[in-house]
Amino acid sequence: MGKVVDFTGFTRLNINPQRVVDQVPDDLEGVVVMGYTAEGDYYFASSYADGADVLWLAEMLKKKLFEATDRFGG
């Protein structure tokens, strides 16, 4: 049987949240986790104490998301 390799490209399909969490690298400086619970409630957790750091990271990653979707026609 061959080795199963996770797809790392862009997709229009949702991915199970646990699969995403399982692929988090060990060398991250900090994290921000955002999502919805099964009941539709917001979930938020951050390793950063300063809200400005959280906002800055969110804005930088939003910029990268826009750039990526522009490149791949998202």
pLDDT at 15 (0 to 100): 86
Contact between 19 and 31 (Cβ < 8 Å): no
pLDDT of residue 11: 72
CA nearest neighbour of 60 among 26, 48, 16: 48
Per-residue pLDDT tens over the stretch 8-59: 777 778 888 998 899 899 999 999 999 999 999 999 999 999 999 999 999 9
Does this model's pTM top 0.85? My answer is no
Q: What is the DSSP letter of 73?
A: T
Going from N- to C-terminal start, the domains of the chain cover: 32-72
Question: Quick check: 72 pLDDT over 70?
Answer: no
